[in-house]
Structure 1
Amino acid sequence: MLPSQPLLHAAVFALAVLQALASDTFIAAVYEHAVILPDVTDEPVSPDDALALMNKNMDVLEGAIKEAAQQGAHIIVTPEDGIYGWHFTREAIYPYLEDIPDPAANWIPCTDPTRFAPAPVQERLSCMARNNSIYVVANMGDKKLCNSSDPGCPSDGRYQYNTDVVFDPEGKLVARYHKYNLFMSETQFNYPKEPEAVTFETPFGKFGIFTCFDILFHEPAVVLVSELQVDTVLFPTAWMNVLPFLTAIEFHSAWAIGMGVNFLAANTHYTSISMTGSGIYAPDGARTYYYNMKNEDGRLLIAELDSHPRLSPASPPAVSWSSYASSVERFSPNDHDFSGLIFHDQFTFTELTKPEGNLTVCQKDLCCHLSYKMAGKQEDEVYVLGAFDGLHVVEGQYYLQICTLLKCKSTDLNTCGQPVETAQTKFEMFSLSGTFGTNYVFPEVLYSGVQLAPGEFEVLRDGRLKSKHGTSKPLITATLFGRLYEKDLPHPLRTSS
C-alpha cells in the first residue's frame, strides 16, 4: 500500500531534520598547559598567595581562551590541575579551594560574584567565558563543609573534591563534576559517595564530562556514553604517559573510537614526569593532537567535529569484537611461546620470526590472532604477538583483556614489553583480532616517534583491527585493549595499589 501524502511529507521532513542534525558541526579547542607550580609545602599558604599563583595560571589560560574564541571555537577544555598544579597534602590545598554551588542555582559569577561565598576563581572563569562568548571547561577544587551528623564526614569537617566546572558563553555555571576515581597520589581529595553522571545540552549536541583516571572505569565514563548517550566527552587530565598502551594520545583516541564519541582531551604539560599529549578525537580517528617531550611549551589545538557523531555518515558500524576470532581455527601452533611483563602484567608472547605469516597466542579465555606482512624486516628488530587476560594491580586495579602486536626494545626477547619510542619496520598489512569477553575494546595504533595513524587503519564489524594500505611509518604497536568491567573490584579498592 502506498503511503498517504501527509505521511510521505512527514517522512521527508523527518529525514531532512536528521540530515540537518547529521551535518551540524562545531569548532572545539583544547589547551595543553605548562602549569606554573607552587612551592612544595606541608603548611598552607595564605589565601592571597594561593590566589596569586592561580591567577598566574589563569593569565595563561585566558590567553588561550581568547585565541580559541578568535579562531571561532565554541568550547575550550583546559587541563586537570591546570590552575594550581599538584603535590599537595590535604591541608596544603585548602587555600586553593572554593565552594562550588550546584549548577541548578542558575548562577553567573561574572555578573553576580557575591551571591555565594568568595569565589574569585569561578568569577574569573565565568568572565573568560562571557567576555569571549565561549564554553569554558576548567578543573579546580571544591570544598563542602560537613559535621558529625554525616558518618562519612572527614575529621577536619569538610569534603574536598577534584572538580570540573563548565561555564556557558554567558558565563553561567552549567556543569559541576566531582572526580570519582581518584588516582593513588590524590590523598588531598575525597571522592563523592556516589558516582556523578554529569551532562549538559548545547546547540551542538549533548556533552558529558569526567576526569583523567575515570576513563579506565565503568562509572561514570561508560555510563555517560552507553546509557546517557552523550555526543561529546570533555576530559581534563593530568596524564603520565606509559608505553606501550597508555600514552595519552594513544589511549584517548582509542577510547573515542571504541565508544563512538567525540573526545576533547586537555593534558597538562610537564615532561619530567612524562605529562604531554592532548587531542581532539572523533569516532573515526584523531582530528588533531599534540605530543611533545622535547620542550615545556603549552599548545592550543582547534578542530571541527560533527555535533552528533552517531548520525554522521562516517560513524563506524557496531562491532562484534569476538566474531572473527571465535570463527577461525587457531593459526599455526606455537612451540616457542614465552612470558614477559608489560606495565607489571604477565603477557604470553610469540615471536614474529618470518617476514609474513599467521600467528595465534592464547592466555586463559583470550586467544589473539594475527595475520601480517612486513615491508622488509629489519634484522635488529623483533616483533611479538602478545595476549593478557587478567587483573592489573599496579597504580590502580582493573581487569584487562589485551591482544597486541608490538616491537621489543631489543633483539633480546627479555626486553619484550619494555617501553619503546622508535622503530624502523613498516608493515604492508596487519590484521589483529581476539576472542574478547567484552564489548568494550579500544583499538590503538602507534607509530615510531609516538605518533598516531589517523585514517590508516579500520575496525571491521567482525572485530578485526586492520591496516588499510600498509603503515606509512614504522610501527611501535597495534593493540586491542579490552576492559572487563564486571570483573573489577568494588570502588574504592580498585583505585589504589
Structure 2
Amino acid sequence: MSYILRLSLLLNFLQRTLQVSTANSPYYTAAVVEYFPVQEIGLSPKDKTLKNVNNYLSLLNEVTEDIDIVVFPEATITTGFQNRNRTILLALATIIPDPSKNIVVCHQTSENYSQYLISLSCGAKNRAVYLVANVIEKRICTGNKCASDNWDFYNSNVIFDRNGTVVGRYRKYNLFGEYTLNKTSKAELSPFTTDFNVTFGQFICFDLLFDTPANALLRNGIRDFVFPTMWFSELPFLTALQAQEQWAYENDVNFLAAGANNPAVGSGGSAIVEGSRGAIIEDIIAQGDSKIYVANVTKRTPRSLLTSVETKITTEEIDKVALTLDNFFLLKDNLTDYAFQLINTTTTTSIDKSLCHGSGENILCCQFRVNLTVNSVTNGAQNSYNYAFLAFSGVRTFSGTYNGGIETCAVVACTNNTPATCGVRFSNYSTVSWPITFQSITIKGNFSNVLHKIQYPNSLRSNLRPLPTTNFKWSYENISQINSKKRTLALIEPENRLITFAIFGRDYSRDSDPRFSSSSHYSIIALVYCLFITLCVLLFK
C-alpha cells in the first residue's frame, strides 16, 4: 500500500473519530435499514447470506455522513431458511462470542465464525460504527433435552462496536412460530452501552407485544432501543409503523426500528422515533426495495422541554403514498367478537356513545364522542368507508402462534356495515372517496391500574402511517379508590383519511400458548398459520 494511500486512510479515520458523537454531545446519529433480501434463484444458501451482507455494507457505505449506530432488520441475512431442516440451519448459523470476552471477530477465521459474521465485524470497524445485525446463532446444547445433532439454534441480535468487537447479544424470547429455533428459559435482558454515553435496550419483532423483555428493560431505566423486525402488518391495529410508534410514544423512548421488506407477505416499515415527540423518520417501501435512513436523535432531554415533531402533510400527499400500497399484503384481525355499533353519518354530525364488552372483572366500557362533517364527493369514486365504534375485552390469537389478552376502544373504518368488514382495505385505492371528515374524536376507557396491563394511543391513516403526535392528545387520570385509571385519547385536528383511532391495550395476564390449549379452535388456527408461514418462507426465499 502506498504512503499516500495509507495517509489518506488515516486522515479519513481521524476525521470520522473527531466527528462522531461523544458522551457530551446533545444527540447521536442513527441509521436504520429497510432491506429487501436477495431473490436470485439458484444461489446456494451460503452464497445468498454473503450477498445479503455485502448489500448491507454497500448501503452503509452509501452514507456520506458519520454514523454512530446502524440497525439492520430481522432475518434478512439467512432469509428463507429459519424454518428449514437442521442440516441447513447448522450450515448457515454462526457462533456468537460471549460479549464479555471482547473479541474482534474481524480478526478471526471462518473456522471459528461464519464468514458473514466476520464481514459484519469488519464493516463495523471500517466505518467506525456500532452495528446491530440479526442472525441465526448456534450454540452447543448443554441441557438434558438436546437434539440429535447436539446444537441449539437462536434468532439472535449481535452488536459490534466501532472496532468490530462483539459488545452485545440477545436471543429472541417471544418467537413468532419459528418452531425450529430454541427459546431461552427466561427472557434475556441484554442492554449495551456506547462510547457516546447512551445505553440501548434491544429486542426483536414479536417481542414488542409482550411484557418481557421489552417492559422489563423499561423498568430497569433503559430509554433508547434498537429493534430489528420482520413484521407482518395487520389491520386495523398492528401495521408495522403503527405498532412501533405506539410503543415508543407511550413509553417515551428513542426507538430505532429496522424492517425487513417484502410487500408480497406484508413486511415493511422502518422508523426512528423520539418518544412522545413522534417519528423523525418513518417509511414503508411498497414495491420491494432497500434503503438506509439517517437522522440525528436527541439524547434523553426531558420531553417537556422539546416540541413535538412537526409532520404537516396534505391529503394529496397521503393519497399519493396510499396509491402505491394496493399490492402490499395486509393481514386482518378478526373483529367479529367485538361489541360493535355502526356510526350513522347520514343524519347526525355529533354522536355520543357508550359501548361495553367482556364480563365480571374483565368488563371494559368505552365512551365515545365524535363530531364530523359529511362532504360531497365529485370524483366519481365508487367506494367509501363506513365507520364503527368497537369495544373488546378478551383473548385473541396472534396468527395461531400465541394468544394474547386485549382491551380496546376504537373507531375503525369498515368497507360495509358489519364487524367482519372493519379493518379491511379497499383493494383499489383510486376507487375510494372520502366524504367524512372527523372534526374531533374523544375516546375514554377505565382500565385496571396494574403492572400486567398497558394501553397505547393507536392510529392509522390510509397511507399506513400513524397520525402525527401534534394531531392527538393522550392522557390518563388515576382513580385511586378503585385502583383504576381513566385513559383518554382525543383527536384535536380534523382528519379525513382515517382508518383507525383507538386505545389499544394489552393484558399480559391472559396470555397463553395455543399449542398447550385445550381449545380445538386455537389448534385449527395454529395449523392454518403454519401453512401461512410456510408460504412466507417460500416468498422470502
**Band of TM-score, shorter chain:** 0.7 to 0.9
Aligned equivalent of 2:437, options 416, 419, 426 = 426
- What residue number does 1:321 align with? none
Conserved? CA contact 2:255–2:273, under 8 Å: yes
Q: Distance in 1 between matches of 2:128 and 2:373?
A: 51
Give the 3 Å change call, closer, same or farther, for CA 400–76 of structure 1 in structure 2. Answer: same
Give the 3 Å change call, closer, same or farther, for CA 475–22 of structure 1 in structure 2. Answer: farther
- The Cα shift of 1:145 comes to 1.3
Q: Distance in 2 between matches of 1:279 and 1:488?
A: 28
- The Cα shift of 1:492 comes to 8.5
- What residue number does 2:337 align with? 346
- What residue number does 1:258 align with? 250
Aligned partner of residue 197 in structure 1, secondary structure: coil
- The Cα shift of 1:81 comes to 0.8
User: Which shifted more, 349-358 or 303-312?
Assistant: 303-312
Q: Distance in 2 between matches of 1:440 and 1:22?
A: 34
Aligned pairs for 1:95-134 (under 5 A) are 95-110=91-106, 112-114=107-109, 117-134=112-129
Q: Distance in 2 between matches of 1:303 and 1:468?
A: 28
Residue 272 (structure 2) pairs with residue 268 (structure 1) = no
Aligned partner of residue 55 in structure 1, secondary structure: helix
Conserved? CA contact 1:398–1:488, under 8 Å: yes
- The Cα shift of 1:114 comes to 3.8
Question: Amino acid of the residue matched to residue 407 of structure 1?
Answer: A
- What residue number does 2:66 align with? 72
User: Which shifted more, 420-429 or 127-136?
Assistant: 420-429
- The Cα shift of 1:311 comes to 6.1
Give the 3 Å change call, closer, same or farther, for CA 469–30 of structure 1 in structure 2. Answer: same
Conserved? CA contact 2:92–2:114, under 8 Å: no
- What residue number does 1:448 align with? 462
**Cα deviation 1:47-101 (Å, max 9, x = unaligned):** xx43321111112110222234x23321111110121212532422221111111
- What residue number does 1:467 align with? 491
**Cα deviation 1:419-445 (Å, max 9, x = unaligned):** 226672321111112122355111111
- What residue number does 1:135 align with? 130
Question: Amino acid of the residue matched to residue 290 of structure 1?
Answer: D
Identity of aligned pairs, percent?
27
Residue 55 (structure 2) pairs with residue 60 (structure 1) = yes
User: Which shifted more, 376-385 or 307-316?
Assistant: 307-316
Conserved? CA contact 1:26–1:305, under 8 Å: yes
Residue 160 (structure 2) pairs with residue 167 (structure 1) = yes
Q: Distance in 1 between matches of 2:492 and 2:375?
A: 19
Aligned equivalent of 1:194, options 176, 182, 186 = 186
- What residue number does 1:50 align with? 45
Aligned equivalent of 1:301, options 265, 270, 293 = 293
Q: Distance in 1 between matches of 2:385 and 2:134?
A: 43
- The Cα shift of 1:155 comes to 3.1
Residue 422 (structure 2) pairs with residue 417 (structure 1) = yes
Q: Distance in 2 between matches of 1:441 and 1:271?
A: 29
Aligned partner of residue 160 in structure 1, secondary structure: strand
- The Cα shift of 1:390 comes to 0.7
Q: How many matched pairs?
A: 438
Aligned partner of residue 123 in structure 1, secondary structure: helix
Q: Distance in 2 between matches of 1:143 and 1:261?
A: 32
- What residue number does 1:323 align with? none
Aligned partner of residue 258 in structure 1, secondary structure: helix
Q: Distance in 1 between matches of 2:419 and 2:352?
A: 23
- The Cα shift of 1:491 comes to 10
- What residue number does 2:90 align with? 94
- What residue number does 2:406 align with? 400
Q: Distance in 1 between matches of 2:23 and 2:491?
A: 31
Q: Distance in 2 between matches of 1:309 and 1:487?
A: 36
Question: Amino acid of the residue matched to residue 146 of structure 1?
Answer: C
Question: Amino acid of the residue matched to residue 500 of structure 2?
Answer: T
Conserved? CA contact 1:283–1:315, under 8 Å: no
Aligned equivalent of 1:33, options 32, 35, 41 = 35
Aligned partner of residue 51 in structure 2, secondary structure: helix
Conserved? CA contact 2:268–2:285, under 8 Å: yes
- What residue number does 2:472 align with? 457
Runs of 4+ in 1 over 3 A off after TM superposition: 20-23, 37-40, 309-312, 377-381, 490-497
Conserved? CA contact 1:283–1:309, under 8 Å: no
Give the 3 Å change call, closer, same or farther, for CA 52–289 of structure 1 in structure 2. Answer: same
- The Cα shift of 1:217 comes to 0.9
Q: Distance in 2 between matches of 1:78 and 1:140?
A: 10
**Cα deviation 1:148-195 (Å, max 9, x = unaligned):** xx22322331100011011111211111001111111x1221111221
Give the 3 Å change call, closer, same or farther, for CA 163–359 of structure 1 in structure 2. Answer: same
Please give the TM-score of this superposition, normalised by the length of structure 1: 0.82
- What residue number does 2:282 align with? 289
- The Cα shift of 1:37 comes to 4.7
**Cα deviation 1:387-414 (Å, max 9, x = unaligned):** 110111242211110111111113x325
Q: Distance in 2 between matches of 1:492 and 1:116?
A: 39
Conserved? CA contact 1:199–1:206, under 8 Å: yes
Q: Distance in 2 between matches of 1:375 and 1:369?
A: 20
Conserved? CA contact 1:204–1:308, under 8 Å: no
- What residue number does 2:394 align with? 390
- The Cα shift of 1:487 comes to 2.4
Stretches of structure 1 lacking an aligned partner (at least 5 in a row): 1-19, 317-340
Conserved? CA contact 1:447–1:453, under 8 Å: yes
Please give the TM-score of this superposition, normalised by the length of structure 2: 0.75
Residue 167 (structure 2) pairs with residue 153 (structure 1) = no
Aligned partner of residue 435 in structure 1, secondary structure: strand
Aligned pairs for 1:208-357 (under 5 A) are 208-225=201-218, 227-284=219-276, 285-293=278-286, 295-308=287-300, 310=302, 313-314=305-306, 342-343=333-334, 346-353=337-344, 354-357=348-351
Stretches of structure 2 lacking an aligned partner (at least 5 in a row): 1-21, 309-331, 378-383, 478-486, 527-541
Conserved? CA contact 2:338–2:419, under 8 Å: no
Conserved? CA contact 1:74–1:135, under 8 Å: yes
- The Cα shift of 1:102 comes to 1.1
- The Cα shift of 1:266 comes to 0.9
**Cα deviation 1:117-174 (Å, max 9, x = unaligned):** 1332221111111111111110001111125xx2232233110001101111121111
